[in-house]
């Protein structure tokens, strides 16, 4: 079996090549949630999740829960939440922001989720995690094993096609032509190391016996604007524009993130094996 790559002790990559966020939580919070784009992402999720998921107070496993925004959203709606996060720094911030809520905190990686009791969760959320892993296909297989028959997985991934388009808009033509889109994960820049395409998510889901029940694009316009909206009125207009087209073809396909509802059918008998070769 091949050995995992070795990285310097100071590298933010784990021994397996995954990107964790110890030492970067402040930058992560400011870059992703401290401005208009983070506000827009959360506002869209607030509208999309109740429409894309069948919610009835199920217990939720929030994998890679980060700063706890998603866990807080579900906990506030009556769900018992278990938040799993590998970064101790991120987990501490989540504990602080969710103090007083009924959330269980667990410092662990996605890959370390126990296989001893498969199919025990009827609702799992994994948002903006797979793109930071060296092997997102194996990670999706791990998540699939945790789903009970009829269980729902709310999966959000960083869109590789949107990253290519963004590079072209910025003038990085050679980079886009050569398809050099992945981040290296060795500096403070937050470019994902494994951005995914819609085709990959669809193919891997089918292989693992999961059905794609719904899909939406998150931030289909915002990240390509020459000048971000400055006034409250302009931000509200942009939100309504994003909401109107986030599930309309072809616009959703260029969302910075792609949001899926994946379901394990009640009668699913597909063997879920993380050692399978990923579909192209």
Q: What is the CATH number of the domain that holds 162?
A: 3.40.50.150
Total structural domains in the chain? 1
Total residues belonging to the chain = 280
**Which position has the higher pLDDT, 162 or 230?**
162
Answer yes or no: is 268 within a domain: no
Q: Is residue 92 part of a domain?
A: yes
Q: What number is the average pLDDT over the span 64-84? A: 96
Helix, strand, coil percent content, the chain, rounded in steps of 5 = 40, 20, 45
Element (H, E) at 65: none
Predicted confidence at residue 38, as pLDDT, reads 86
Band of pLDDT at residue 32, cut at 50, 70 and 90: low
Can you give the pLDDT at residue 8?
37
Say if residue 22's pLDDT is above 50.
Answer: yes
Residue 34 has pLDDT above 70, yes or no: no
In-domain check, residue 271: no
Q: Which residue has the higher pLDDT, 114 or 117?
A: 114
CA quadruple 189, 229, 253, 204: dihedral positive or negative? positive
> Residues near 69 by Cβ (< 8 Å), separated by ≥ 6?
33, 42
Question: Is residue 75 pLDDT above 70, yes or no?
Answer: yes
In whole angstroms, what is the distance from residue 83 CA to residue 106 CA? 6
- Does residue 16 sit within a domain? no
88 in a structural domain: yes
Q: CB-hemisphere CA count at 13 Å for 1?
A: 2
Closest CA to 156 of 128, 191, 198: 128
The confidence score (pLDDT) of residue 28 equals 66
In a domain, 272, yes or no: no
The answer to whether 219 and 257 have CB atoms below 8 angstroms apart is yes
CA gap 190, 140 in Å, rounded: 22
pLDDT at 280 over 90: no
- Assigned domain for 205 exists: yes
| pTM, entire model | 0.88
Q: What is the pLDDT of residue 6?
A: 36
The pLDDT assigned to 190 comes to 78
Looking at residues 175-186, what average pLDDT do you find? 86
Q: Count of CB atoms within 10 A of residue 122's CB?
A: 18
Q: How far, rounded to the nearest angstrom, does the alpha carbon of residue 151 sit from its chain's CA centroid?
A: 18
Domain coverage including residue 135: 25-263
The predicted pLDDT at position 270 comes to 45
Contacts of 169 (CB under 8 A, 6+ apart): 224
How does residue 36 score in pLDDT terms, banded at 50, 70 and 90? confident
Mean local confidence (pLDDT), 98-126: 88
Would 30 be classed as within a structural domain? yes
Q: What is the pLDDT of residue 186?
A: 63
């Amino acid at each position: 079996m091949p050995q995992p790559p070795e990285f310097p002790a100071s590298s933010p990559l784990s021994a397996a090549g995954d990107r964790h966020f110890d030492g970067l939580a402040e930058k992560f919070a400011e870059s992703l949630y401290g401005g208009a784009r983070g506000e827009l992402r959360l506002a869209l999720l607030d509208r999309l999740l109740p429409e894309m998921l069948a919610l009835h107070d199920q217990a939720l496993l929030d994998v890679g829960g980060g700063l706890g925004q998603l866990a807080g959203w579900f906990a506030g709606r009556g769900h018992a939440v278990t938040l799993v996060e590998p970064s101790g720094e991120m987990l501490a911030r989540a504990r602080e922001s969710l103090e007083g809520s009924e959330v269980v905190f667990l410092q662990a990686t996605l890959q370390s989720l126990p296989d001893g009791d498969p199919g025990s969760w009827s609702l799992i959320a994994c948002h903006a995690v797979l793109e930071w892993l060296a092997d997102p296909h194996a990670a999706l297989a791990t998540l699939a094993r945790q789903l009970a028959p009829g269980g729902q997985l709310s999966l959000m991934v960083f869109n590789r096609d949107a990253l290519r388009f963004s590079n072209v808009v910025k003038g990085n033509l050679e980079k886009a032509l050569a398809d050099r889109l992945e981040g290296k994960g060795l500096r403070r820049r937050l470019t994902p190391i494994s951005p995914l395409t819609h085709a990959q998510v669809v193919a891997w889901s089918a292989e693992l016996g999961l059905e794609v029940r719904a899909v939406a694009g998150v931030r289909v316009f915002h990240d390509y604007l020459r000048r971000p909206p400055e006034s409250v009125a302009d931000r509200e207009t942009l939100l309504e524009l994003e909401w109107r087209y986030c599930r309309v073809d072809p616009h959703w396909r260029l969302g910075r993130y792609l949001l899926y509802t994946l379901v394990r059918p009640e009668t699913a008998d597909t063997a879920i094996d993380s050692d399978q070769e990923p579909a192209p």
